[in-house]
Amino acid sequence: MNDSLMRAVEARREEVVALTRDLIAFPTVNPPGEAYTPCAEYLAGYLRRMGFQTQMIRGEGSPGDTDRYPRTNVVARREGRAPGPTVHFNSHIDVVEAGAGWTVDPFAGTVRYGRVYGRGACDMKGGLAASMIAVGAFLEIHPDHPGAIEISGTVDEESGGFGGVAHLARKGFFSKPRVDHVIIPEPLNKDRICLGHRGVWWAEIETKGRIAHGSMPFLGDSAIRHMGAVLHAFEHELFPALDAKQTRMPVVPEGARRSTMNINSIHGGQTEDFFPGLPAPNVADSCRIVIDRRFLLEEQIDTVKEEVVSILDRLKRDRPSFDYAMRDLMEVLPLMTERDAPVASAVAEGIRAIFRREPDYVISPGTYDQKHIARIGHLHDCVAYGPGILDLAHQPDEWVGIEDMVESAKVMAIGLEALLVRPRH
């Protein structure tokens, strides 16, 4: 281990705290996408002082982008002294709403018990700050490194990343030859490497009926009862079948190490949302559900859809007057970077050096911005690694440990050395 590099990270302990507090003070709440531009400008100024060239890129035309709430991203790049690979640290600057239940001001960056508190402290302004001091320390020790380093602060991760990483990926910011290795400092715990995520398929299913007076339902055809038949079939056939599908993906928590499906919503009949709060006595002519199916590397998306469609088609054959429509809302394929990929090996080397143990390799149950880097950028050497305890994300009194930030910055600095100064791949 390079002791001078470790000392250079240690020397930035105060800096990482100040940086995290400054970042928390921008209430970059999404939705609606508050304070993105001042936060991105603050980062750009900071990175320029570290010798980076910066670019502001607005996610124009993306969901939520307006003059009142511009989707402002910052991408910073610093060229080395010789040709070589590029390592990119990508962090999202948006946070979810503070919500109720806080005992400290969510945007004050209160420091207490060796922790920085605030909305986004853990997810993921602490990770962004840690990656910045890792880079600062690396540049102090290796001013003549080959290759290049990039740091980006991107928006809208919490709402799908369309105005952030997806927008940048479409413009070539996450593709070779510009970038080779990507680390996303999401709060996965400082000794774990996140290699990817399960797949997602969202769809809306609508059953159809015929409206009639509620006192004579036999004259109509209830879409809600048809949906009941769908849910019954899901309950007795689909859910047990999904539960039996295990994966080699190391998903955490362990309950997600299989196929799952959630029914996100159900709506049938007339709404109650009006005065005096009662719907008219009608037989429902439509009932809709939105399903959220999470699938595995071992599954094909076509098969995932077919399992649902075959149940619906069978009901159509067997159940009098049953009819349905299905609409795809979103699909993302599952992703898993291999453990021996260059960026995963480099971070693993840092974890071994700092914690004297093998890293845990994990897969996220849900997706994050890596999906856009893989699917749009076609860049597969990407992992998520950063400080912070995942369970604290989006909670009241969210915090990040100062020691955790320093230690994970050491891991990232060692990872940078492995990728840029002594590449073995």
Binding site for Zn ion (CB under 5 A): 123-124, 186
Residue showing the smallest CB distance to Zn ion in the complex: 123
Nearer to Zn ion, 128 or 284 (CB): 128
Tokens coding 50: 């570290």
How near is the Cβ of 92 to Zn ion at its closest, in Å?
A: 6
How near is the Cβ of 246 to Zn ion at its closest, in Å?
A: 27
Nearer to Zn ion, 24 or 205 (CB): 24
SS3 assignment for the chain? CCHHHHHHHHCCHHHHHHHHHHHHHCCCECCCCCCHHHHHHHHHHHHHHCCCEEEEEECCCCCCCCCCCCCEEEEEEEECCEEEEEEEEEEECCECCCCCCCCCCCCCCCEECCEEECCCHHHHHHHHHHHHHHHHHHHHHCCCCEEEEEEEEECCHHHCCCCCHHHHHHCCCCCCCCCCEEEECCCCCCCEEEEEECEEEEEEEEEECECCECCCHHHCECHHHHHHHHHHHHHHHHHHHHHCCECCCCECCHHHCECEEEEEEEEECCCCCCCCCCCCCECCCEEEEEEEEEECCCCCHHHHHHHHHHHHHHHHHHCCCCCEEEEEEEEECCEECCCCCHHHHHHHHHHHHHHCCCCEEEEECCCCCHHHHHHCCCCCCEEECCCCCHHHCCCCCCEEEHHHHHHHHHHHHHHHHHHHHCCCC
Nearer to Zn ion, 123 or 221 (CB): 123
How near is the Cβ of 93 to Zn ion at its closest, in Å?
A: 10
Tokens coding 198: 């399960």
Nearer to Zn ion, 165 or 227 (CB): 165
How near is the Cβ of 371 to Zn ion at its closest, in Å?
A: 13
Nearer to Zn ion, 126 or 359 (CB): 126
Nearer to Zn ion, 186 or 404 (CB): 186
Nearer to Zn ion, 133 or 384 (CB): 384
Q: Which of 183, 213, 129 is nearest to 416 (CA)?
A: 183
169 Cα distance to chain centroid: 15
How near is the Cβ of 69 to Zn ion at its closest, in Å?
A: 19
Nearer to Zn ion, 209 or 388 (CB): 388
CB-based burial of residue 169 (10 Å sphere; 0-12 exposed, 13-18 middle, 19+ buried)?
A: buried
Residue type, position 180, single letter: D
**In the chain, how long is the greatest CA-to-CA distance?**
83
How near is the Cβ of 129 to Zn ion at its closest, in Å?
A: 14
Nearer to Zn ion, 9 or 128 (CB): 128
CB-based burial of residue 375 (10 Å sphere; 0-12 exposed, 13-18 middle, 19+ buried)?
A: middle
Nearer to Zn ion, 186 or 398 (CB): 186
Determine phi and psi for 76, rounding to 5 degrees.
-120, 140
How near is the Cβ of 185 to Zn ion at its closest, in Å?
A: 9
How near is the Cβ of 250 to Zn ion at its closest, in Å?
A: 20
How near is the Cβ of 117 to Zn ion at its closest, in Å?
A: 17
Nearer to Zn ion, 141 or 384 (CB): 384
How near is the Cβ of 124 to Zn ion at its closest, in Å?
A: 5
How near is the Cβ of 261 to Zn ion at its closest, in Å?
A: 24
